[in-house]
Amino acid sequence: MASEEQVGKVLTLFGKMTEVEISDLISNKDWGSINFESATPDLERLFALCNHFKVLPIDQLPADIANQIVTEATPISQTVNNIREFTIEQANPSGIRDQYVNEVKANVDRFYKFAHIYVPYLAYQKGEIQNNIKQLTSSVSDAKNLLETTKSDVNSKSEAIAKIIQAAREASVSVGVAHFTADFDAEAEVMEDQAKNWLIVTSILAGLSLLSAVYFLFAEPNLTTTASAIQYVSSKILILVLLITATLWCGNLYKAAKHQAAANKFKGNSLKTFQAFVNATDDDGIRDAVLIETTRAIFSESATGYITNDNSGTEKSTKIVEVIKNGAQAISATTKS
């Protein structure tokens, strides 16, 4: 083990070499254009190594190694001191500058090769590496515990998250269904009001037709000539035909309005039924079946009894139902996977 005296020599030598900043060694305003810039990398290596040794437990080194460090560092210390005392007033200052630069390079290389191998050992002895290893081990252990805790929290909350997602989906479905249900109900009310108006008009026209027929039945016209008889009969037929035609036309409009009101009411009730089944069951199969039947009810022609339905819309509604069915099956398969 190095003695206290040997440790003191090493620290004194390193302290003397590093007491002046590198920037003050490589340039000086009194030197003019002459400087030691080319020696900067070697001086930086030297100062870094010296600063390491100044904070490390040098007393852990064998005595002969401590003596050899002093021996190897002494020439470098002398060269650094020569650079510190350099002046351009001496003969051939550029040549002397080059000589000092070469000495720095050669001496630092030799000292570095010998001394740098002891820095890791002394750092370990100081305890920094051991402390770093302990801290790293503790950090790894903490990270592992945090990971396990996080996994546990995720597993415990996954069911709650799934319920939240399901509730969000059901809420979106309910909002959409409620929106379209309100549209169908509003349209049904509008068509119901129109049907009432057309019923009133039909009743009025029917009454006028009846009054005209009664009037013509009991009227006693003066038919003195054939022309006046033809004029009387033709005008009576024309008036009655117009009144009856208008009555029938308004009656058909009344039936069409009532048909539309009943159809929209039926579609609104279908959506309400779908919403009730969705809220009542968690079975995807039942939901898909109800969705298909609801789609069929909405897009197919409804038999209300007010007008005669043809089968022109059956093919289109079947295609729409098939598209909705395939989409529901695809969504169900994706959700299960």
Q: What is the pLDDT of residue 221?
A: 64
Rounded to two decimals, the pTM is 0.39
Q: What is the pLDDT of residue 255?
A: 84
Q: Distance between CA 189 and CA 195 in Å, rounded? A: 10
pLDDT above 90 covers a percentage of the chain that reads: 3
Scanning the chain, the segments in alpha helix (DSSP H) are 4-17, 22-26, 40-55, 63-84, 93-115, 119-126, 128-218, 226-280, 284-299, 314-336
Q: Find all residues with CB under 8 Å of 314, minimum gap 6, and list them.
A: 300, 301
299 in Cβ contact with 270 (< 8 Å): no
pLDDT(138) > 60: yes
Decide: helix, strand or coil at residue 297.
Answer: helix
Q: Distance between CA 9 and CA 27 in Å, rounded? A: 29
37 in Cβ contact with 95 (< 8 Å): no
Question: Bigger pLDDT: 79 or 316?
Answer: 79
- In 10 A of CB 335, how many CB atoms? 10
Q: What is the dihedral of CA 55, 61, 66, 69, to 10 degrees?
A: -70
What mean pLDDT do residues 226-234 have?
68
| pLDDT confidence tier of residue 95, bands split at 50, 70 and 90 | very high
pLDDT (tens digit per residue) in 261-300: 887 777 777 777 766 666 666 666 766 776 677 677 666 6
Q: What is the pLDDT of residue 335?
A: 53
pLDDT (tens digit per residue) in 59-71: 888 888 888 888 8
Q: What is the pLDDT of residue 278?
A: 67
Distances (CA, A) of 151 to 140, 163, 165, 225: 16, 19, 20, 110
Q: What is the pLDDT of residue 180?
A: 67
Q: Distance between CA 149 and CA 156 in Å, rounded? A: 10
pLDDT(157) > 90: no
What mean pLDDT do residues 119-138 have?
71
What mean pLDDT do residues 195-218 have?
82
pLDDT(303) > 60: yes
Most confidently modeled of 27-31, 162-166, 184-188, 315-319?
27-31
Q: What is the pLDDT of residue 313?
A: 47
What mean pLDDT do residues 245-252 have?
86
Q: Distance between CA 99 and CA 80 in Å, rounded? A: 12
307 in Cβ contact with 263 (< 8 Å): no
pLDDT(231) > 50: yes
Q: What is the pLDDT of residue 53?
A: 83
Please state whether 21 falls in left (phi above 0), alpha (psi between -120 and 50) or beta: beta
According to DSSP, residue 177 is labeled H
Q: What is the DSSP string of 195-210?
A: HHHHHHHHHHHHHHHH
Q: What is the pLDDT of residue 30?
A: 85
According to DSSP, residue 302 is labeled P
Task: Tell which residue, 70, 77, 69, 66, has the closest CA to residue 104.
Answer: 77
Q: Find all residues with CB under 8 Å of 213, minimum gap 6, and list them.
A: 240
What mean pLDDT do residues 58-85 have?
87
Q: What is the DSSP string of 99-156?
A: HHHHHHHHHHHHHHHHHGGGHHHHHHHHTHHHHHHHHHHHHHHHHHHHHHHHHHHHHH
Question: Bigger pLDDT: 281 or 201?
Answer: 201
Question: Bigger pLDDT: 14 or 300?
Answer: 14
pLDDT (tens digit per residue) in 321-331: 555 555 555 55
Q: What is the pLDDT of residue 102?
A: 93
Q: What is the dihedral of CA 294, 300, 304, 307, to 10 degrees?
A: 170
